[in-house]
Amino acid sequence: MKIPESSLIDTMGPESIENWTSFNGYVLLHELETGFDVKFTIDEIMDVTTIADIKRHLKNKGIIFD
Amino acid sequence: MNSEKTLSYFINESEKLVGKKFKKKIRIALLSSYTVNGLKEIVQVKCAEYGISAFIYEGPYNQYSQEILNVNSNFYKFKPDIVFLIIDSRGIFDELYHFPYLKPIDQKKILITEKISEINYLVDFFTKQSNATMIISNLNIPTDSPYGISEQKLDYGLSDMIQEFNSALNFKYKNSEHIAILDFNSFVSKHGEDNIFDPKQYFFGDIRINIKFLPQYGEEIMKFLISFLGLTKKCLVLDLDNTLWGGIVGEDGFNGIKLGPEPPGNVFVEFQKTILSLHQRGIILAINSKNNFDDAMQVIRKHPYMILNENHFSSIKINWNDKVSNIKQIAEELNIGLDSIVFLDDDKVNQEFVKSTLPDVFVPELPEDPSMYSKYLQNLIQFSILKITNEDKQRGKMYSQQKIRNELKISSPDLTTFLKKLNLKITIKKVDEFSLPRVSQLILKTNQFNLTTKRYQESEINLMINDPNFFIGYVNVKDKFGDNGITGVFIIKKESKKIWIIDTFLLSCRVMGRDIEKGMFVYIVNEAKKHNIGQIKSKFIPTQKNKPIEDFLPNCNFKKEDDYWTYMIESELPFPKFLELEV
């Protein structure tokens, strides 16, 4: 999505990241599913509007970020 | 197997392509009834790997009919060279997809006819507006049925309906120049319905090809683009030890190599069968092996389980020279470009050596496990061809005859004696619907003996055939060893009542060096005389590859004037003595 890692903050989402389209957002979740070997439900996918939401759902699956 | 990269890789790589230009260009339109976001980036990146700049138009979501039926649509404004119409069973069958037994059989039959007519109508409308090629996806047959295991006992269920639709689509466009079918049903079978269709992606965003498999779908599209752009490879150069058989003949001996009905020898028997099947559809075979000639030839000539024999190979290099020199010699002997060659060798060092020294040669990384060789070769898209011509089927044999011709050449004291001994006969005819596919193929692929290297698609040539301002002919060459098939093409533009211009003049590399071109040109001169033409003009457009034709115009008494070379009709140019002409 062309965002430098250092400038990412939890409250960011489609509103603040121009390239976070519905499709790109899904590709990101798909990559996380593959990378962490987890599955998001369709409810979780629809619920994601910020980076914090993604972290929360990952945490529920046992993936915790520092 | 062919490990594919992820969609994110392609999305990221496509951004790096901005501003990059490649030699070849293609304009592609993607019209789809469902979400195929990401496909554009995949195709762009894959095209770049082949040195092609791909300009891609994505039609608005599920508006393919509107785009095709509106002559002012952005789709037509884009002027595509090739269009992919991506549809699927859900979109076409709508309610019936879930409730296939809601209607009586006769009504369902009518419905199928209507659905096919709808597609045909769109295609007809499209072909009247555009000369572009259209590739239509056929429909996948779903494995789930509300009737479960009793589906097979029912008359005309969903799978029957879809099969009928697919067959009708195939039948209708089998001989079409503009239209071809992308077999989506086989694509789904190959990768598995449960992999391709991910319900979550479907409900989330109407994604019907799982984004995990979208790069593989991109590969299907590449097959058509490779063929469309004439990038299909012609020749397979093969290593022997641990490639055509298991083990090393020099060490393991004739009886010790692995080749036969038992594992692991059976994998090499299967691999040879796959190679033979490629040869039978026109791929030229050659050997490039570091070995004692006699040891290796004993296996090729005498081993009971060899599938390939000496006659299948048009060039055999079994020696201790390096693999690169051998490949260069093979290319020279067969008169083909290095970019027409695929080199298969199990040895990673040889692969790397050839790849880095001869970047034009395609060197696939054979799998570690030889049991995967056959599947790997079948999956290579470099041999993709949309339409196999009769010349293709005969090519392997023709090149083997070439090997004998070359032997005759060595035994003849001079070129004229050799050419006389060949009993050359050429037939020149106007291009018609039967010769069109081969003529188009030559126009798209011939590099070396090509005066202007203009590329025309089959549809464009067809327009010229029916245009009285053009005169398009082909030449068929025969000699005492066999029929070389259609090997030369010319396109004359009738510029005025006094002047003809050579738009295209080419000869396949397999018949170069026999003065066929002079015969062709004298024939054109004689036709020009019949029409009271005073001058024939031509340009020579030099490329990196067409050096063999650079002296053709001066050799035929053309004189250079400005941009054009001019031949005055009264110049006397004799027909080559050792050629016999049939018209």
- Please answer whether residues B439 and B429 qualify as being in contact, where contact means their C-beta atoms are separated by less than 8 angstroms: no
Tokens of B503: 């738009």
Paired sense of beta strands B52-58 and B24-32, if any: parallel
Report the first-to-last Cα separation within chain A, whole angstroms: 22
Is the N-terminal amide bond of B554 cis, ω within 30° of 0? no
Find the CB nearest A42 among B7, B37, B203.
Answer: B203
User: Residue B285: what pLDDT?
Assistant: 96
How far from B290 is each of B173, B272, B523, B531, CA to CA, in Å?
47, 19, 48, 59
User: Residue B299: what pLDDT?
Assistant: 97
A27 at B interface, C-beta within 8 A: yes
Cross-strand partners of B246:
B258
To which H or E segment does residue B553 belong? helix B552-555
Report the first-to-last Cα separation within chain B, whole angstroms: 52
- Contact between B200 and A45 using a beta-carbon 8 Å cutoff: yes
B211 at A interface, C-beta within 8 A: yes
Residue recorded with tokens 């011709």: B405
How far from B94 is each of A28, B172, B180, CA to CA, in Å?
31, 23, 24
Find the CB nearest A42 among B8, B11, B204.
Answer: B204
Find the CB nearest A42 among B6, B37, B200.
Answer: B200
What is the full DSSP assignment across B263-320? Answer: TTHHHHHHHHHHHHHHHHTT-EEEEEEES-HHHHHHHHHH-TT--S-GGGEEEEEEES
Q: Which of A53, A32, A52, A35 is nearest to A44 (CA)?
A: A53
- Contact between B38 and A22 using a beta-carbon 8 Å cutoff: no
HEC-encoded secondary structure of B108-174: HHHHHHHHHHHHHHHHHHHHHHCCCEEEEECCCCCCCCCCHHHHHHCCCCHHHHHHHHHHHHHHHHC
Cross-strand partners of B428:
B475
Q: Which of B451, B529, B546 is nearest to B489 (CA)?
A: B451
B499 vs B502: CA distance, rounded Å: 10
Sign of CA dihedral B549, B554, B556, B560: positive
B362 vs B344: CA distance, rounded Å: 9
To which H or E segment does residue B471 belong? strand B470-479
- Please answer whether residues B68 and B75 qualify as being in contact, where contact means their C-beta atoms are separated by less than 8 angstroms: yes
Q: Where are the domains of chain A?
A: 21-66
Report the amino acid identity of residue B368.
E
Question: Which DSSP category does B258 fall into?
Answer: B
Burial class (CB in 10 A: 0-12, 13-18, 19+), A18: exposed
* R_g (Cα) of chain B, nearest Å: 27
A27 vs A33: CA distance, rounded Å: 10
- Contact between B211 and A31 using a beta-carbon 8 Å cutoff: no
To which H or E segment does residue B392 belong? helix B390-411
B170 vs B181: CA distance, rounded Å: 7
- Contact between B8 and A27 using a beta-carbon 8 Å cutoff: yes
Cross-strand partners of B319:
B290
- Residue A28, min C-alpha distance to chain B (Å): 8
Q: Which of B567, B440, B450, B451 is nearest to B500 (CA)?
A: B567
B431 vs B445: CA distance, rounded Å: 17
B204 at A interface, C-beta within 8 A: yes
Report the chain B residue with the minimal C-alpha distance to residue A33: B212
A40 vs B197: CA distance, rounded Å: 17
Report the chain B residue with the minimal C-alpha distance to residue A21: B37
A46 at B interface, C-beta within 8 A: yes
Residue B146, Cβ neighbours under 10 Å: how many? Answer: 12
pLDDT along chain B (583 residues), means of 10: 81 94 94 96 96 96 95 96 96 85 89 93 95 96 85 84 95 91 97 96 95 97 94 96 94 93 95 96 94 94 96 94 94 92 94 92 95 96 85 78 75 74 90 90 90 93 94 92 88 96 92 88 95 95 88 94 92 88 84
For chain B, give the number of residues: 583
Find the CB nearest B205 among A2, A23, A41.
Answer: A23
Report the chain B residue with the minimal C-alpha distance to residue A19: B11
B8 at A interface, C-beta within 8 A: yes
* R_g (Cα) of chain A, nearest Å: 11
HEC-encoded secondary structure of B204-253: HHCECCCCCCHHHHHHHHHHHHHHHCCCCCCEEEECCECCCEECCHHHHC
- Please answer whether residues B386 and B181 qualify as being in contact, where contact means their C-beta atoms are separated by less than 8 angstroms: no
Domains in chain B: ranges and CATH: 7-228 (3.40.50.1110), 235-383 (3.40.50.1000), 421-582 (3.40.630.30)
User: Residue B1: what pLDDT?
Assistant: 41
Report the amino acid identity of residue B264.
P
Q: Which of B64, B77, B65, B88 is nearest to B27 (CA)?
A: B77
Tokens of B214: 């979208």
Q: What are phi and psi of B341, to 5 degrees?
A: -105, 140
How far from B251 is each of B158, B240, B248, B369, CA to CA, in Å?
59, 13, 5, 21
HEC-encoded secondary structure of B224-236: HHHHHCCCCCCEE
A45 at B interface, C-beta within 8 A: yes
Best of B15, B36, B200 to mutate (most A CBs within 10 Å, chain A): B200
Q: What ipTM does this complex have?
A: 0.90
B448 vs B473: CA distance, rounded Å: 19
Question: Which DSSP category does B17 fall into?
Answer: T
B479 vs B405: CA distance, rounded Å: 10
- Please answer whether residues B285 and B308 qualify as being in contact, where contact means their C-beta atoms are separated by less than 8 angstroms: yes
